[in-house]
Amino acid sequence: MSKILRVNLTENKITSEPVPEKYLKLGGRALTAQVLTDEIDPACEPLGRHNKLVIATGLLSGSYLSSSSRLSIGGKSPLTGGIKEANAGGTAATALSKLGIKMIIIEGESKTGYSQYLYVNKDGAELRPAEMAGLGVYHSAKLFFERYGEKVSPILIGPAGEKGYYSAGITNTDPQGRPSRFCGRGGLGAVMGVKGLKAVIIDPADAPGVEYQDRPAFQELNKEMAKMLKENPVTGEGYPKYGTAAMATRTNALHALPTRNFSEGSFEYADKIDGEYLYKTIKARGGEGSTTHACMTGCMIRCSNVYADSDGKEVVAPIEYETIGLLGANCGIGNLDDIARLNYLCNDLGVDTIEIGVAVGVAMDQGVIPFGDAEAAYDLISEIADDTIMGKVLAQGALITGKVLGSRRIPVVKGQAMAAYDPRGIKGLGVTYATSPMGADHTAGSTARAQVEHTDPGPQVELSKKMQAFSMFADSMGLCLFVLAAFAPHLDKLAKLLEYYSGIKSSEQELLAGAAAALKTEREFNLRAGIGPAHDRIPEFMTEEPIPGIDSVFDVPHEELQKIAE
């Protein structure tokens, strides 16, 4: 891929630059980390004009390989105060690759006084006034499709991002145009919003398309990879049928399903919100629902879904495990219809369902509304749109909500809410939460699949370290983590695919070493931003309050955690 698009909002200037040599072998998360390190002062105000937003493609983006075109967005996070990358499926990364754009760097701060969007096509890019300012992401996306046709890929924020709320994410659209594929974490939607940018529209019409160094060799090896995905029980049967929601049965069994603000690890209604129940419900209702769905063109796994109501009308697509865990069990809500409505509401506002699920759980714990009351949860989240004080507090995420409400049970690390894995039930994920430069983020190194005793503190640091490197590797290639169930033993083949695609010669060892180096880059950024080992901590209540059922606290010693960086 040949170019970088640089958009300076202060000067209203857009330039196209060749990709410098040092960035050629970097993609996705690793690329965003390096660009941010090179171009911004880590001490800068995340919502100020010196922060930048880097929208990047992965190294395999646009290729035929299944699930290989995730969109990476990086910036300094208003939630963690450190470096952040969030990635998502959807169609935008492929569209960028077709246009030959490796990344878009957005800098400065608009002085126009009105919201704008960036339109990008084969002829260049232009900033245009965004009349859809203030609208939810569904309505906004519809307007963009009406104007530019159904083939464009909008990358956009909702009202929460426009207002600079820390829980705001950036979404892009699936192949059917649903703006529900969120780069959700870290408040990057707020970074985009304060710059006065509502959306980036990628129009791949008549684009030159991607080039292969050796297309026949790529296709040949790709057949082998496709066979692996098909034959692996998890990628061939598990994810396509039950989706990520199947995780609920596992975390529930491990006492790691956050329940009622992380006070319990198993939920009495877990079997009403898990993968099997979701599958049966969607199947029985028929209509617009679908038990399987691909978030990006060419994904063979199709772990996603379309959830319909009892009349068969689409409510939201998809429902994912994290949302089920945090807007569901963590809020004491054991009904998929309720969770689906809350999910749609969060999407439309453009907020991260993890951050908001945890914030609502904290608010329930503090008695603002009762646990299990889905209507009250809906009204509470709706306050974000209404700009009430409570809405503003909630929209700033779990930490601020907890502090304002006087909670001492706030499940966050480095200011960011935990995903739907209690670190007392799966301690390896606790290590990842504590030590990842990303803050509490399950995608930064999930250990849930590993065949270890999850409550034994012993092996977790090594395990988390390995998984953090694996995640960085996948996030840099643009790969969905789920392919690793089949591909993890074949990283050498992925290295070959990369060579056939872009000519970059490397080995499995080199790719993993590159991932470790990128993690180091992120840690160094954070150190310069004032975030160091002292911040690598799981909240105190989780080290003292045992999770019922297994009597486990998070007890991986702090000195052990520091071995991650060695």
Partner 1 sequence: MAKILVTLKVHDIIKDKINRNGVLADGKMQITIPEESMVGDLIDLLDLTDDWVGLITVNKRQSTPEKPLSDGDVVELFSPLVGG
Query: What is the footprint of ligand SF4 within residues 197-236 (CB under 6 A)?
Result: none
Interacting residues of 44 by C-beta distance below 8 A, sequence separation 6+: 50, 51, 76
The answer to whether residue 1 forms part of the interface with ligand SF4 (CB under 6 A) is: no
Rounded CA-CA distance 446/450 in Å is 9
Binding mask 472-491 for partner 1 (x = CB under 8 A): ---------xx-xx------
Nearer Cβ to ligand SF4, position 294 or 358?
294
455 binds partner 1 (CB under 8 A): yes
Structure token digits, residue 541: 């209540």
Per CB under 8 A, does 180 bind partner 1? no
- Residue 275 C-beta: closest distance to partner 1, Å: 6
Is the dihedral angle over the CA atoms 522, 526, 531, 534 positive or is it negative? positive
Q: Write the interaction track for partner 1 spanning residues 312-331; mark x where CB under 8 A is met and - where it is not.
A: --------xxx--x------
* Residue 518 contacts residue 243 (beta carbons within 8 Å): no
Q: Which of 509, 175, 165, 529 is nearest to 350 (CA)?
A: 165
Site for ligand SF4 in 109-148 (CB under 6 A): none
- Say if residues 416 and 80 touch (Cβ distance below 8 Å): yes
| Nearer Cβ to ligand SF4 (302/465) | 302
> Least distance (Å) from partner 1 to the CB of residue 502?
25
Considering only 28, 74, 100, 238, the residue that binds partner 1 (CB under 8 A) is 238
The label of the residue with tokens 């307007």 reads 143
Q: Which of residues 27-66 bind ligand SF4 (CB under 6 A)?
A: none
Region of 154-162, 293-301, 498-506, 515-523 interacting with ligand SF4 (CB under 6 A): 293-301
- Strand order in 116-121's β-sheet? 124-129, 116-121, 197-202, 153-156, 170-172, 181-183
Asked whether the beta carbons of 562 and 533 are under 8 A apart, the reply is: yes
3-state secondary structure 398-419: HHHHHHHHCCCCCCEECCEECC
- With CB under 6 A as the contact rule, the residue among 56, 278, 299, 564 that binds ligand SF4 is 299
DSSP H or E stretch at residue 291: strand 290-293
- Determine, following the binding rule CB under 8 A, whether residue 249 of this chain makes contact with partner 1: yes
Locate 251 and state its tokens. 């975390």
Residue with tokens 């922060």: 51
Q: Is 300 in the site for partner 1 (CB under 8 A)?
A: no
Q: Could you say whether residue 272 binds partner 1 (CB under 8 A)?
A: no
Candidates 451, 489, 544, 566: give the one binding partner 1 (CB under 8 A): 451
Q: Which of residues 304-363 bind ligand SF4 (CB under 6 A)?
A: 304
CA–CA gap between residue 400 and residue 402 (Å, rounded): 5
Residues that bind partner 1 (rule: CB under 8 A) add up to a total of 39
Give SS3 for 90.
coil
**Helical segments of 259-352, H only:** 275-285, 321-323, 336-349
Which region among 67-75, 235-243, 336-344, 406-414 touches partner 1 (by CB under 8 A)?
235-243
Element (H, E) at 71: strand 71-76
In the list 454, 465, 496, 523, the residue contacting partner 1 (rule: CB under 8 A) is 454
Nearer to partner 1, 249 or 396 (CB): 249
| Omega prior to 318 cis, within 30 of 0 | yes
Question: Footprint of ligand SF4 on this chain (CB under 6 A)?
Answer: 67, 89, 239, 294-296, 299, 301-304, 480, 482
Residue ranges that bind partner 1, judged by CB under 8 A: 232-234, 237-239, 241-242, 244-250, 253-254, 275-276, 320-322, 325, 420, 442-443, 446, 448-449, 451, 453-455, 481-482, 484-485, 549-550
